[in-house]
Chain A
Amino acid sequence: MKTIVKSRLAELLQTMAQDFRVLVPVKSEAISQFVPWQEGLTVNLEGNTVLPPKDIFFPQTEKMYKFKVKGSSVDIEEFAEDVQKQVIFGIRSCDMQSIDCLDKVFLTKGYEDQFYKTKREKTLLVALSCTKPQDTCFCESMGLNPQEAPGADVQGYDLGDALGFVAKTPEGEELLAKYGSLFTEVNAVPQKVEGFNLKADVAGIPEKLAKMFDHPIWGEVSQKCLGCGACAYLCPTCHCFDISGTVKGDQGYKFRCWDCCMFSEYTRMAGGHNPRPSKKERVRNRFLHKLYYFKDRYGQLLCTGCGRCIAKCPVGMDITAIIEKIKEAEV
């Protein structure tokens, strides 16, 4: 295994940053997130980031095209996007799995989302194993291995004082070879993962949910939800967006931004008809989407067990508790 002592991590990142935009997990005050590496930053390898890395491919707001109006004439022009080659360094298994979900949404089913694709194609992924799950983590229950991220180009391991790297794709091989002189070849064994505090048994859940659209549990579980949308914004797999625009004088631009099916406006139509008029329908949609619809459409669950929604919901909505309720519900 190629290893480097943690005290030399900055040197590795600094060297990589000459060839790539390198995104690393960094903590500032209460928020941790992936930001472009620059000298002097402290990489935070403790636990997962508070904000998911989805904004790297799917920014919270993203300009789509600009327009200019002159009388009845309308000019439309694309923004020329200069996408750099980039490396995401230190991404966890759960967030790697979420990228797989996002790939399915944005790159399959007939259309490719060009905004997503340009960034995704230029990205190398260096995953980092988890050894100490946080209180709200349950990725193992979702079928993930916290030490082996699906789809990573390089799997990184936390070896205590050092970090170890194993290439998983030809691109990963190339990346490690490029900075080979910084690594020491060592026969290292990754540390064992500590046990999980949270568990969820998802076996049979999608099949059961197929029969639970009208079940009273949606009325119950939705009662305390505030509809604030924090769960969706923090979720690494949530991908709904709105398209909107701004105009100043005779010009403006269209942008897309994250949206959330927990908002009342989300499905409201012209004339005021809303197929999801109350919290009950909206909360139901959120959980059915994650635990049933997405599986039906794309073959996997839209939850990776990262636990962010559990950690940050202001009223303590807990998806593992809801999975439990579904398990126990009579149909």
Chain B
Amino acid sequence: MSVSTADIKRINPLIPIRGKITKIVQETPDVKTFHITTLDGQKPFTPLPGQLAMFSIPQVGEAMFSITSQGPNHLEMSIKEVGQLTRFLHEVEEGQECGIRGPYGNGFPIDYCRGKDLLFIGGGIGLAPVRSLINYCVENRKDFGKLIVVYGARSYADLVFKEDLFENWPKVENMEVFVTIDRAEEGWNGHVGFVPAYVEELNISPMVTITCGPPIMIKFVLQSLAKMGFNDKDVITTLEMRMKCGIGKCGRCNIGSCYVCLDGPVFTLEQLKLLPPEY
């Protein structure tokens, strides 16, 4: 049985539906992408790009992850090994059953992006949420202007979604992909250096920008974009706070009077500037 967004709101939103991991892709030494379906092989629900899901192995734990992509019959989440649940996930095999609930959060402002040129900036695992929107734009190519991706990771091995970066996206019409790694290494002929500096180097004129990465990267990217004259309301990013309920009840993920699980995780820089700097 597949469940629609409306169903999720009607049934108990705190109780996961049963799912199955049908495919596991090793992205980097510590990031794997998991394809998830319901037990009978359907898509658990249809999220908007940028939305989130609470993913659980009930006997181990539950955590919030962005849905990095979706197909007609599955959802994809890219998960970095950092703690107990994620360590367990990195050991399981295809066929493992799980729990999933969602979709949660506001998602990216697609209507606002429609018809515009878009710059995507990602760092490390931070490309995961951004990818959901990139894939959406690629699938609905005519609805968007020029697409530019700037992405960086510590090393070549740490680059996620290599197939998208080097094969799929560069082939898309009017789409450019720029990849950088922090330090030079043998066999890498591409750009070397940090993402914010690379963005400045590329001298991109102001457009709608979607950024996600480690907090320190975001901080410097925002400075670079400001220097380059980007408009605060066109700078879009996602925030992470500890989450438990995902539906604005447990109180955990507040930044001021806003709940990241419900009112976010997507915010424009204009909105962020109105929130207390507590993230």
A residues near B, CB below 8 A?
64-65, 67, 69, 72-76, 78, 105-106, 109-111, 113-115, 213, 239-243, 245, 247, 252, 254, 256, 259, 261, 266-271, 273, 275-276, 281, 285, 288-289, 292-294, 296-297
* Contact B250 A241, beta carbon cutoff 8 Å: yes
* Contact A110 B99, beta carbon cutoff 8 Å: no
* Contact A240 B250, beta carbon cutoff 8 Å: yes
* Contact A254 B254, beta carbon cutoff 8 Å: no
Which of B43-51, B112-120, B177-185, B239-247 lines the interface with chain A? B239-247
Q: Which residue of A lies closest to B61 (CB)?
A: A245
* Contact B15 A65, beta carbon cutoff 8 Å: yes
Nearest chain A CB to B79 CB, angstrom units: 11
With A105-B249, A111-B13 as known contacts, state yes or no: A293 contacts B254, CB within 8 Å: yes
Partner of A74 from B58, B244, B258 at Cβ < 8 Å: B58
Which of B90-98, B156-164, B194-202 lines the interface with chain A? B90-98
Partner of A64 from B14, B251, B257 at Cβ < 8 Å: B14
* Contact A296 B257, beta carbon cutoff 8 Å: yes
With A261-B251, A266-B252 as known contacts, state yes or no: A76 contacts B18, CB within 8 Å: yes
* Contact B15 A241, beta carbon cutoff 8 Å: no
* Contact B9 A111, beta carbon cutoff 8 Å: yes
Give complex CA distance A314, B278 in Å: 28
* Contact B93 A72, beta carbon cutoff 8 Å: yes
> Does B76 interact with chain A (Cβ within 8 Å)?
no
Give complex CA distance A115, B13 in Å: 10
Partner of B59 from A247, A268, A288, A297 at Cβ < 8 Å: A247
Please give the number of chain B residues whose Cβ is less than 8 angstroms from any Cβ of chain A in the complex. 45
User: Which of A243, A252, A294 has its CB near the most chain B CB atoms (within 10 A)?
Assistant: A243
Interface of A is mostly: mixed
16 A–B pairs (Cβ distance < 8 Å), ordered by A: A65-B15, A67-B59, A72-B92, A76-B99, A111-B9, A113-B13, A239-B249, A239-B251, A240-B250, A243-B14, A245-B58, A269-B241, A275-B255, A289-B251, A293-B256, A294-B257
* Contact B96 A72, beta carbon cutoff 8 Å: yes
Give complex CA distance A242, B12 in Å: 17
Give complex CA distance A242, B242 in Å: 11
Q: Which residue of B lies closest to A266 (CB)?
A: B252
Chain A residues whose C-beta falls within 8 Å of the C-beta of B245 in the assembled complex:
241, 243
Chain A residues whose C-beta falls within 8 Å of the C-beta of B250 in the assembled complex:
240-243, 256, 259
B residues near A, CB below 8 A?
9, 12-18, 57-59, 61-63, 82-83, 86, 92-93, 95-99, 215, 240-242, 244-245, 247-252, 254-258, 262, 276, 278-279
Give complex CA distance A221, B17 in Å: 45
User: Which of A76, A105, A268 has its CB near the most chain B CB atoms (within 10 A)?
Assistant: A76
Chain B residues whose C-beta falls within 8 Å of the C-beta of A69 in the assembled complex:
58-59
Nearest chain A CB to B157 CB, angstrom units: 19
Partner of B12 from A67, A114, A240, A243 at Cβ < 8 Å: A114
With A269-B242, A297-B257 as known contacts, state yes or no: A72 contacts B249, CB within 8 Å: no
* Contact B15 A76, beta carbon cutoff 8 Å: yes
Chain B residues whose C-beta falls within 8 Å of the C-beta of A109 in the assembled complex:
248, 262
* Contact B242 A72, beta carbon cutoff 8 Å: no
Partner of A240 from B96, B252, B279 at Cβ < 8 Å: B252
* Contact B244 A254, beta carbon cutoff 8 Å: no
Chain A residues whose C-beta falls within 8 Å of the C-beta of B59 in the assembled complex:
67, 69, 74, 245, 247, 252
For the complex of A and B, 8 pairs with smallest distance between CB atoms:
A240-B251, A296-B257, A293-B257, A67-B58, A111-B247, A74-B97, A114-B12, A270-B82
Give complex CA distance A76, B257 in Å: 34
Nearest chain B CB to A13 CB, angstrom units: 33
Chain A residues whose C-beta falls within 8 Å of the C-beta of B248 in the assembled complex:
109-111
* Contact A72 B97, beta carbon cutoff 8 Å: yes
Q: A259-B251, A266-B242, A292-B257 are in contact. List 7 more A-B contacts (CB 8 A).
A: A76-B99, A109-B248, A113-B249, A247-B59, A270-B63, A281-B278, A293-B257
Give complex CA distance A266, B278 in Å: 14
* Contact B257 A74, beta carbon cutoff 8 Å: no
Nearest chain A CB to B57 CB, angstrom units: 7
* Contact B256 A76, beta carbon cutoff 8 Å: no
